[in-house]
Amino acid sequence: MKILLIHSDGVEVIKNKVATSNPQDFPEDVIKMEGLILVAYVSVEDQDTYDTDLISKQGAQVIEDAIIQITNFPEKIRHKNEEIREYNKKIESGQIKGKPRKILELIKERDTYRVDQVLVYPWAHLSKFLSNESNAMDVCPKIAEFLK
């Protein structure tokens, strides 16, 4: 399985045409989600479908890990800055030699480091080694179910 994760401020996906010979029933032509969205584009590969429950759980775990990384990022920067301040104090006091390190800054507002919703979307273009369609069709819905 390959997963491409994009943390986005809103998302809109438009169904242009049927991508498989046996498409899942999806009445909407547009998926539109507001807020801070983690979009998970998923490609199911040929070796993945021996156990779709297992591979779906693994996919859900990757997505959950990404959510944790996103939400914990400001705290990680805060801890790193504490280390930098300690290092710089040692330089100033003459305990060690070196150049002072620059304090890190978040490039976005602190409240944007969160995930409001997740979109799990099949995306065959990530792999050259796609699984057969009948097995692969189950994986994205199962990932979404495990994330609930």
Domain annotation covers residue 33: yes
Name the residue with tokens 């959950």. Answer: 64
Domain annotation covers residue 100: no
Torsion of CA 58, 64, 70, 75, to 10 degrees: -110
CA distance 142 to 59: 9
Per-residue pLDDT reduced to its tens digit, 63-90: 999 999 999 999 999 999 999 999 999 9
Q: What's the total number of domains in the chain?
A: 1
124 pLDDT exceeds 90?
no
Per-residue pLDDT reduced to its tens digit, 2-39: 999 999 999 998 877 665 666 666 678 888 999 999 99
Domain containing 57 equals: 2-77+115-147
Mean pLDDT for the chain overall: 92
Answer yes or no: are the C-beta atoms of 139 and 59 closer than 8 Å.
yes
Percentage of residues of the chain with pLDDT beyond 90: 73
Give the model's pLDDT for residue 66: 99
Q: Which of 116, 146, 138, 131 is nearest to 11 (CA)?
A: 116
Domain annotation covers residue 109: no
Domain annotation covers residue 132: yes
Domain annotation covers residue 97: no
Domain annotation covers residue 98: no
For the entire predicted model, the pTM comes to: 0.86
Domain annotation covers residue 42: yes
The enclosing domain of 27 has a CATH number of 3.50.80.10
Name the residue with tokens 């990680």. Answer: 76
